[in-house]
Amino acid sequence: MDAETMLAEGRVLAAIAPNVVVKLPLTLDGLKTCRTLAREGVKSNVTLCFSANQALLAAKAGAAYISPLHRPAR
């Protein structure tokens, strides 16, 4: 789950086809990986997003897609 490993795996997956989207967790290392992949032209889907602020962080990192998760009301 570290940035270097995710980056290596993301590059391998992106090489499969031009329409591949790499799925990344919304963690600090996931956002670092997202930023690097975006600069390389690789699209990513950032998951485990629980708030609007987290979605903004993912968007600023260059995520092409963001998958929000809903927390049930308590």
Residue 9, SS3?
helix
Catalytic residue among 23, 32, 43, 60: 23
Determine whether 23 is an active site residue: yes
What is the reported pLDDT for 69? 87
pLDDT tens for the chain, 74 residues long, are 899 999 999 999 999 999 999 999 999 999 999 999 999 999 999 999 999 999 999 999 999 999 998 777 77
What is the reported pLDDT for 6? 98
What is the reported pLDDT for 10? 98
Q: Cα separation of 38 and 25, whole Å?
A: 15
Which residues are 47's β-sheet partners? 25
